[in-house]
Chains A and B, each alone.
Chain A
């Protein structure tokens, strides 16, 4: 329980998990589905269905999730080829649309009869449930609902569906989730995200360059929302006893109907208070599963991972959504992030007539944060970067004798030579030796994400008087490029556990790879 090295510990839980840990590192952008079926329109056919989520303690937790009722129109980002959308997944499919698209989402209720009706809320949008002048679905408390699958779709075609239509007015990140018996249905996994991309031709961002794995070049129509990479983290928690209770009642209902086809079942009534969650999730997975690849076959119903990678000096867009019912303080090691927006609302300085930004766009007003104080139902977009500026030692371990150039740009960084081994370095610290004598590597414990030396990209450096790190034989090194690793995790530290076992839960590692190591997010 005490050892910090996840995989060594986890290996003790089961050889299968150890194999996962030993697998090649994997990272992915923000995969999702697109629904373009004409200019400025997007249509999605989703369902809600039952399944099981896989947890690293070996548990399969009975869950409900949204999924694709049929193959979607397409997927994004285009650079990702191993991408799919099943009929049930947690979180639900990420819906990727363009600004001002008219978005139509038709939901089929394929949940078990005992679950009753279900629905989707799209907070932040003006939603209509009318199609050609006719209300779809049935009346619910917060929105129209898709009736239970107990209606007979063979005789009443479409009787278990509801259709939501809205215009994706503003760019940004938005949550969607069940608006029916939310204390149970959201707990069971009925939540997902909508991402609205800005008009790329807008003058304020037309000079931004889109990264190969990015959905867009910028998050908003604002030059300081340009980004090189992006990651979506949907934070949630589960109390597995609620899921067990729901499963038992569902099975009892199915048993009753099997015995008597005309039997009716009561709706599932699980005890959702007092609430003591024991699983804490990033994109439906617990550490270390969240650091496996997106769409990894081990997690057929939890396709999205949480495994951010970047290069020094890159701008990373973090899209964070609180999908559970409690707050989670997600601490990001490495640097501050600038909040761009909450729930798609860009936070701008008021009356900024002196703005030097392109087109006179007002400057940003969102706070700088080192912890996302995630709020239930709220989406936050923020820009993160890391340059190493101010460390007062050369993170690459370069010395004057090595004669490696670092030519500062106007801001002090080496950006004139693409492909340089120290591309993006803060030149004022170039060639400076580390100001302490590191301890003998044999008297300290070495982490699995430790590159082997204090330096970025160097796993050993005998010339610098630093022998490579002796790791226990047979252990898998998680950080082949000797990048800098930073833990991003809930600072309610009891949440970095999986059903009472540390390590686990709401935790992942950001790896800043050296410029020489390519980051293929399509893996």
Chain B
């Protein structure tokens, strides 16, 4: 740390040399315009402006064996009601920009919010931002979800880590897997800027091609990721907006048009083409109903699903977290995860409905683990296909997830549909998938077979059998239930 202080000192000296530059002196600043050149508010707008506000912070979570664990993490500062409901905290600009009138620190976990309050609005007033951000880290970090054609303004405000007043840690956001990323908004501190305590930075991207991405801090990754600064992010495809009874393939073909109106094969010019056109169909697949949901712009309906579950694989090394809380230097080579998590929880907490709250060091209970990992398919009400958006942010090892009872159909890998350039689906059925940190995979569980009936429960679990433990408890770990209702 002493080396770091030297650098800070140098920065201060440097700042002193720059007094001639007009100081703009803003620190916290949340940016979310109501209108943009892309979204002027006209009826012809495609997509919308979406905004989200998060704090770089710290906090505590509860592991399935009852132990509390210290986190470096991201806290939600917008979409609080949605996040506590297991939903993304990404809001329309019109919602985001309302004055916040939700609960304040003392009743964060309260299930009752003021009626009519703008609980999903952004918290942007500096004192309130500190009050609501400090010790409020979530595991996993707030969920981000957008649609193709959206613009996303994501503001990160660094409220410091109150349990580690000795640290001057910066934070950033890396949009993991974004194609044609800008290095300025890529979150790598070496290649861009990093956000100091009491500062804000607004990241901007138009939605990339549909897929399962994820996000995390990129400061000292072995430390900040292990400590919990990891979250999920997915992009829904344009195909969801295709009108009822329109051919899905025609809709896809029409997105590949030259200015003179002729269509082209996207993969001839672009070796990274994300949505190859499927072979012509004898009877074209049409949009069955408004609101049909797809994982990708498939043009053949093959990635349709009824219900989706983001699942993030992760591991915590309790020793590393304890050392990280107690002002000691951490060892990287000996890092060994002992808690194996899906959405920041181990079994049986993975199937606990609703938020799991933890009392932090100030005695206030905060909803630190908002996202259950139970896979519920309501067949009674017509649900048959569940999309699992699986990402892995383990910093130590590759892991295998397997199902018993319901085979997995792998339809996507690294936020891209599994399809060759000629348009042939390369989906495959399997009982297990293996990925490492920094990878994602999309899997569909299909229970349309009459053999699957309401009341059945199956399991999704790690076949790295030592991962079915919660530290010293030899039962639990990276496992959740697939419940058919």
Residues of A within 8 A of B (CB): 1-6, 8-9, 12, 224, 276-278, 315, 327-329, 331, 333-338, 348-350, 352, 354-357, 362-365, 367-371, 373, 383, 385-393, 395, 410-411, 432, 434-437, 439-450, 454, 467, 470-475, 484-487, 489, 491-494, 496-497, 499-503, 509, 512
Contact = CB atoms under 8 A, between A and B. Distances in A.
A492 B194 contact: no
A315 B271 contact: yes
B183 interface: yes
Nearest to A348: B420
B413 interface: yes
Given A470-B18, A472-B7, 19 more contacts: A1-B329, A277-B333, A327-B398, A329-B439, A334-B183, A335-B272, A364-B271, A370-B438, A383-B272, A392-B38, A393-B204, A436-B202, A443-B26, A485-B190, A493-B226, A494-B226, A497-B333, A499-B333, A509-B190
B458 interface: no
A335 B180 contact: yes
Nearest to A369: B414
Contact of B26 (A436, A439, A486): A439
B199 interface: yes
B269 interface: yes
A371 B196 contact: no
Contacts of B329: 1
Contacts of A440: 23-26
A352 B331 CA distance: 52
B150 to A, nearest CB: 11
B189 interface: yes
Contact of A350 (B414, B424, B438): B424
A487 B14 contact: no
A486 B181 contact: yes
B394 interface: yes
10 contacts: A336-B274, A371-B414, A371-B439, A386-B180, A388-B180, A391-B205, A435-B33, A435-B37, A444-B195, A470-B11
Contacts of B225: 493
B439 A473 contact: no
Contacts of A392: 38, 151, 206
Nearest to B194: A445
B256 to A, nearest CB: 11
Contacts of B394: 492
Given A369-B414, A454-B184, A385 B271 contact: yes
Interface string B218-260: 1111110110000000000000000000000000000000100
B414 A447 contact: no
B17 interface: yes
A223 to B, nearest CB: 9
A491 B186 contact: no
B106 interface: no
Interface string B144-182: 000000010100000000000001111000101101111
B223 A502 contact: yes
Among B25, B180, B203: residue with most chain A CB under 10 A: B180
A485 B421 contact: no
B201 interface: yes
A111 to B, nearest CB: 28
Contacts of A450: 190-193
A486 B222 contact: no
Contact of A439 (B199, B268, B335): B199
B436 A439 contact: no
Nearest to A347: B420
A410 B206 contact: no
Nearest to A368: B416
A334 B226 CA distance: 23
A3 B220 CA distance: 8
A503 B201 CA distance: 24
B460 to A, nearest CB: 21
B220 A485 contact: no
Contacts of A356: 265, 268
Contact of A494 (B193, B199, B222, B398): B222
A278 to B, nearest CB: 4
Interface string B193-216: 111100111111110100000000
Contacts of B25: 440
Contacts of A348: 420
Nearest to A3: B4
A444 B201 contact: yes
A365 B426 CA distance: 9
B468 interface: no
Nearest to A11: B3
Interface residues on B, range: 35 or more
Contacts, number: 296
Contacts of A12: 3
A470 B17 contact: yes
Contact of B189 (A1, A437, A445): A445
Given A336-B414, A338-B272, A445 B193 contact: yes
Which 5 pairs across A and B sit closest by C-beta, in order of nearness?
Answer: A491-B438, A472-B10, A363-B421, A365-B420, A4-B189
Contacts of B483: none
A352 B422 contact: yes
Contacts of A509: 190-191
B438 A472 contact: no
B191 A449 contact: yes
Contacts of B398: 327, 329, 373
A385 B272 contact: yes
A227 to B, nearest CB: 10
Nearest to A4: B189
B221 A496 contact: yes
A336 B272 contact: yes
A16 B265 CA distance: 54
B21 A388 contact: no
A211 B262 CA distance: 33
A352 B33 CA distance: 47
B190 A327 contact: no
A357 B268 contact: yes
A486 B188 contact: yes
Nearest to A387: B180
Contacts of A487: 188, 190-191, 218
B111 interface: no
A162 to B, nearest CB: 35
B183 to A, nearest CB: 4
Contacts of B176: 331, 370
Interface in B410-439: 413-416, 418, 420-422, 424, 426, 435-439
Contact of A436 (B153, B193, B435): B153
Nearest to A450: B192
Contact of B11 (A447, A454, A472, A474): A472
A388 B179 CA distance: 8
A496 B221 CA distance: 8
B395 interface: yes
Nearest to B421: A363
Contact of B437 (A448, A493, A512): A493
B465 interface: no
B53 to A, nearest CB: 14
A9 B3 contact: yes
A336 B180 CA distance: 8
A308 to B, nearest CB: 14
Contacts of A474: 10
A471 B18 CA distance: 10
A475 B7 CA distance: 10
Contacts of A448: 190
A492 B181 CA distance: 21
B200 to A, nearest CB: 7
A436 B31 contact: yes
Nearest to A444: B193
B29 interface: yes
A336 B179 CA distance: 6
A387 B271 CA distance: 12
Given A368-B414, A373-B435, A486 B183 contact: yes
Contacts of A329: 398, 436-439
B333 A4 contact: no
Contact of B193 (A8, A338, A447, A496): A447
